Amino acid sequence: MKKLFDNVGIRTSKLVTNTYSTSFSLGIKFLDKEFHDPIYSIYGFVRFADEIVDTFHDFNKKELLDEFKVETYRAIERGISLNPVLNSFQKVINDYNVDHKLIDTFLKSMEMDLEKKEYTEEGYKEYILGSAEVVGLMCLRVFVKGNKKMYDELTPYAMSLGSAFQKINFLRDLHADYLGMGRVYFPNVELTKLDSATKASLEDDIQLDFNKGLEGIKLLPKNSRFGVYVAYIYYLKLFNKIKSLHPERIMEERISIPNSQKMVLFASSYVRHSLNLL
């Protein structure tokens, strides 16, 4: 019966993923089937933590996050939780022997979102490490299935790819983060005076992360490579759209890719992958 309970947790994490992220959900579908449940479980955990700090404005967010943190480690220690998302997450952590320091670092970044509104260069790097890079490393741990040598070799590439994705999210969400929550993630950038030169400098930095991330995708095991490549292609399309826009435009609205274009991207990505053109 425990297996039935575990399946409920996995299905819940999958529901969370499908509800909050069309793009991520589609990317998971292109992974080998054995990776679906653990990656859904990681995303469900990350999404719930992010919701606490980004959405629950009418509640005591610090109290909720503190409780979530305690419940997370209790679930990992016990090997079970009555919170279905945490139950599925603890199973991934325990099954794949994921370093708990990655969880610590992620939750530290969530705590930073409770207080920080503007970031120094050091704080910016720390936030990206926790909010994106270590999440990529959790997924990498799953993809290499315990192969420590491969994990160590691919770690810097996975971190760069996670960094690129997060920085693009920052650009995409400038309007909501700044006007909605007063957050400025990019250090030494005055958003009310964002000009083309500053925007181009931010984009150059992202491109470097993107280039290194693609190198790592090519080194991934075949059964995970295509799913990660699909996510890369989606973010590349989003990045190129942002690059084409005037700074004022990205301050006025959240930039996105229509679902119809996503499907075309995924189809073309499959062709490139099948022909070994990555």
Mean pLDDT of 59-85: 97
**Residue 71 pLDDT > 90, yes or no?**
yes
Q: Give the whole-number percent of the chain exceeding pLDDT 70.
A: 92
Kindly provide the residue ranges of all beta strands, DSSP E only, lying in the chain, ordered along the sequence.
none
Note the pLDDT of residue 263.
60
Report if residue 24 sits inside a domain.
yes
Which of 253, 250, 238, 175 is CA-nearest to residue 22?
238
Note the pLDDT of residue 178.
77
**Residue 277 pLDDT > 60, yes or no?**
no
The more confident residue out of 37 and 233 is 37
Report if residue 121 sits inside a domain.
no
Tell me which of 77, 95, 113 is where a domain ends.
Answer: 95
Shared domain check, 90 and 137: no
Tell me which of 95, 118, 139 is where a domain ends.
Answer: 95
What span, in angstroms and rounded, lies between the C-alpha atoms of 219 and 213?
Answer: 10
Shared domain check, 188 and 275: yes
Mean pLDDT of 37-60: 96
Among all chains, which residue has been given the structure tokens 């301050």? 251
Shared domain check, 215 and 167: yes
Shared domain check, 33 and 142: no
Shared domain check, 83 and 4: yes
Note the pLDDT of residue 25.
83
Shared domain check, 77 and 12: yes
Q: Give the whole-number percent of the chain exceeding pLDDT 90.
A: 68
Note the pLDDT of residue 274.
52
Q: Residue 266 sits in a domain of what CATH number? A: 1.10.600.10
Report if residue 204 sits inside a domain.
yes
Shared domain check, 140 and 185: yes
> pLDDT band at 43, cuts 50/70/90?
very high
Which of 118, 109, 114, 130 is CA-nearest to residue 189?
118
Reduced to 3 states, what is the DSSP secondary structure of residue 79? coil
> Which residues constitute the domain of residue 70?
1-95
Report if residue 258 sits inside a domain.
yes
**Residue 116 pLDDT > 80, yes or no?**
no
> pLDDT band at 275, cuts 50/70/90?
very low
Shared domain check, 183 and 56: no
Each residue's pLDDT tens digit, 164-206: 999 999 998 887 887 778 788 999 888 778 899 999 999 999 9
Report if residue 106 sits inside a domain.
no
Note the pLDDT of residue 266.
61
Note the pLDDT of residue 30.
86
Shared domain check, 145 and 30: no
**DSSP per position, 150-184:** HHHHHHHHHHHHHHHHHHHHHHHTHIIIIIIH--B
Arithmetic mean of pLDDT over the chain? 90
Mean pLDDT of 204-210: 96
Shared domain check, 189 and 142: yes
Report if residue 118 sits inside a domain.
no
Tell me which of 95, 114, 149 is where a domain ends.
Answer: 95
Note the pLDDT of residue 260.
62
How many domains are there within the chain?
Answer: 2
Shared domain check, 211 and 161: yes
Which of 139, 141, 172 is CA-nearest to residue 240?
172
Each residue's pLDDT tens digit, 141-164: 999 998 999 999 999 999 999 999
The more confident residue out of 193 and 116 is 193
Report if residue 111 sits inside a domain.
no
Mean pLDDT of 235-243: 92
The more confident residue out of 148 and 251 is 148
What span, in angstroms and rounded, lies between the C-alpha atoms of 114 and 103?
Answer: 17
- Burial level of 160, CB count in 10 A (0-12/13-18/19+)? buried
Report if residue 249 sits inside a domain.
yes
Shared domain check, 262 and 155: yes
Each residue's pLDDT tens digit, 9-39: 999 999 999 999 877 887 888 899 999 999 9
